[in-house]
Amino acid sequence: MKKTALVVCPGRGSYNKAELGYISNNFSDKALQAQFDAVRAAAGLATVSELDQQAVFSRSIHLKADNAAALIFAAGVGDYHNINSNHFDVVAVTGNSMGWYTALGCAGVLTPASGMQMVTDMALLTADGAGAQFIYPVIDDNWQPDNNRIALVQQQLAIHSSELFMSIVYGGYAVIAGSEQAVKAAMAALPPCDERFPMLLAGHAAFHTGFMQAASDKALSLWPAARFNQPQLPLIDGRGQIWPNFGSDLAALQRYTLQHQVCQPYNFSKALQVAVKEFAPQHIILLGPGASLGGAVAQSLIEINWQGLSSKQDFIAAQQSERPYVLSMGIAEQRLLLG
């Protein structure tokens, strides 16, 4: 009997050194890969195949905005097509930040070719935007809210109120963006933790803030609503709003995609929480590349005590079952359960 599943798509930071070769190693649909390559080649850009099959990972090449976006979109849509439809019934799809575009591709709002074109366009447009982005934890080691860290983040947002903004609510992490000066000052003021944070996100501008207004204006002119199709699956956006399959207002979906979520905060935690409450999936499937979504997904579930999860230890114990609740395409042994 089929299991119902929610599909979740990762954001921009998910193709790194460990993911080099991910697409060529896992893609079973070569015709789909050829479509992605054709779009890139027609634009005079490195193809997905060329980038993924490089002998050595290069930060200057693979983290370049449009290259990273192309690799992540291709990997995500390819993974979606690799989910065994005889075993899983996908009931809804959502994503984190750039993962919203991948979600649109999975749901059929964008064709593979138009989706690749959109992520390339948006990466180029937003890369021209000013500012920077960093991430900081607002939870403790047991994945419970850390009120002191939350207060410190809010303090920095207040001090730099015209230049620093919440960008993404990402499980137990705050992703903050703004001017380079404000980001630098906030990072210096926040106490270091876990030997990694606050962490500047390399190659990221002030995404999901007003710094992206010019990119949004240009995107709206390039991508009219006529280029969008009706969703074939329900979509949950970065506000927690559900876009129904075969019954969505495409003009509103275009405005949300190219205006609201480009210039306003993206609440990934709320998107995931609404999705599990409304669709009660038997599994959550995380698309690749990578497996970076797992922590934020677990933390978002713990926040609402989903299925009795109340701590990091609860989640780890649940994941040690024969068929874990959260299945990641980026983890080899879990990928086998999905094919």
Convert the pLDDT of each residue in 72-85 to its tens digit.
Answer: 999 999 999 999 99
Residue 154 has pLDDT above 90, yes or no: yes
Confidence of residue 186 (pLDDT cuts 50, 70, 90): very high
Mean pLDDT score, 23-27: 93
Query: Where in the chain do CATH 3.30.70.250 domains reside?
Result: 132-204
- Burial class of residue 73 in the structure, from the number of CB atoms within 10 Å of its CB (0-12 exposed, 13-18 middle, 19+ buried): buried
Amino acid making up residue 185: A
Provide the pLDDT for residue 210: 96
Q: How sure is the predictor about 127, in pLDDT bands with cuts at 50, 70 and 90?
A: confident
> Which residues are within 8 A (CB) of 171 and not within 5 positions of it... i.e. 6 or more apart?
139, 268, 269, 295, 296, 297, 298, 299, 300, 303
Whether the predicted pLDDT of 321 surpasses 90: no
pLDDT score of 66: 95
- Residue 268's closest CA among 169, 127, 156, 143? 169
Partners of 177 in the beta sheet? 133, 165
Share of the chain above pLDDT 70, in %: 100
CA angle 225, 228, 229 (to 5 degrees): 135
| Choice among 59-63, 95-99, 124-128, 305-309 with the minimum mean pLDDT | 124-128
Q: Would you say residue 10 has pLDDT above 80?
A: yes
More reliable by pLDDT, 265 or 129 = 265
Residue 3 pLDDT exceeds 80: yes
The percentage of the chain sitting over the pLDDT mark of 90, rounded to a whole number, equals: 94
Domain with CATH 3.40.366.10 in the chain: 3-128+212-335
- Average pLDDT for residues 126-149, to the nearest whole number? 93
Q: Average pLDDT, stretch 299-315?
A: 96
Whether 208 shows a pLDDT value over 80: the answer reads: yes
Mean pLDDT, range 322-331, rounded to an integer: 93
CATH fourth-level superfamily of 3-128+212-335: Malonyl-Coenzyme A Acyl Carrier Protein, domain 2 (3.40.366.10)
Question: Residue 129 above 90 pLDDT?
Answer: no
- Give pTM, 2 decimals: 0.97
How far apart CA 255 and CA 250 sit, in angstroms, is: 9
C-alpha atoms less than 13 angstroms from C-alpha of 339 in its C-beta half-sphere: 12
Please report the pLDDT score of residue 130 as a whole number.
86
> Has residue 13 got a pLDDT over 90?
no
132-204: which CATH number, 3.40.50.300, 3.40.50.620, 3.30.70.250, 3.30.465.10?
3.30.70.250
Mean pLDDT of 157-185: 98
Mean pLDDT of the chain: 96
Cα maximum dimension of the chain: 55
pLDDT exceeds cutoff 80 at 301:
yes
Chain position carrying tokens 């713990």: 302
